[in-house]
Chain A
Amino acid sequence: MKTFKTLIIIFHLLFFNNLYANENSERNEITKNLRCLICQGQSVYDSDSDFANSMKILVDKKLNEGLSDKEIYSYFKEKYGDWILYDPGLNKNTYLLWLLPILIFLFGGAIIVKSFIFKK
């Protein structure tokens, strides 16, 4: 038990003093989810291309106008297509994407139970 307590104390000493709240955290969350069109492997958040920098400013602007994250996403989706979002929503194009892994999981579980545990 002693070790746990010391762990907690160490933890506090380390982090409480110099932790500051993330400025722009909402902007960061949104830009992490947008894909950069110039360096196409990176998110707008990770990229420093001109396009990405302008996107960041625009996201800030939209946030100031009071748009929610969902509204901002659909704004960019309208402009650049589904591709711009890293989070593919659940729609007719992506049912298989989201459900196939889950189905595989259930199927695997069924096989394990059937062939190894409840086999007569």
Chain B
Amino acid sequence: MKQKLVPYSIIVIFFVIFVVFYKSLEDTNIYTPEVKINNDIPIFSAELLLSNETLESKEIFQLDKFYILNIWSSWCAPCRDEHSILMNLSKSNKFIVIGMNYKDNKKNAKSFLDELGNPYEKIIIDKNGTKSIEWGAFGVPETFIIHNNKIIKKYIGPLNQELFLEIQNLTK
């Protein structure tokens, strides 16, 4: 009995390894952080792009409305693609769109907005990229939906028509 135990357990171990490796083939190896919802938004103070004010975070998100925080930059190509969606969202009165200008310079950012239109009510400057990290983002573009000072939804990558409808449905 004892002599047979060892070979059998070895076979079982190898079989388990096989199954695990097989299963892992299906997954992607790129890690994307889990989206934590219902987290309080970080507290910060920030310069604005289009005026020379400095605002506290609670002043920005004070209304009882749905806020969309969009991290963008003039050098980021996908930001260009999603811009029209943001324009459409800003037209709806349910949302207030806030921009966060990521590692950009003012001149380029302004000409980007002149060219494509400005959907943002306010634009926060994130010169060195640290504010977006405090939000838990790691690239551009990323979009957060905020309600009652809590993050209720987060999108990594550019928005599209499908996500546009999804965001619209959030308010219902």
Tally A residues with Cβ within 8 Å of B: 16
- Interface size, B (range): 10 to 19
Quick check: B128 and A83 within 8 Å, CB to CB? no
B160 within 8 A of A: no
Residues of A within 8 A of B136 (CB): 79-80
Taking the closest CB of chain B, its distance from the CB of A91, in whole angstroms, is: 17
Bound CA span A83–B103, Å: 25
Contact stretch, chosen from A14-22, A46-54, A103-111: A46-54
Check A79/B139 contact, CB under 8 A, given A37-B33, A54-B128: no
Bound CA span A51–B102, Å: 11
Summarize A's interface: helix, strand, loop or mixed: helix
Bound CA span A76–B141, Å: 20
Taking the closest CB of chain A, its distance from the CB of B153, in whole angstroms, is: 16
Taking the closest CB of chain B, its distance from the CB of A73, in whole angstroms, is: 14
Most chain B CB neighbours (cut-off 10 Å) among A37, A38, A54, A83: A54
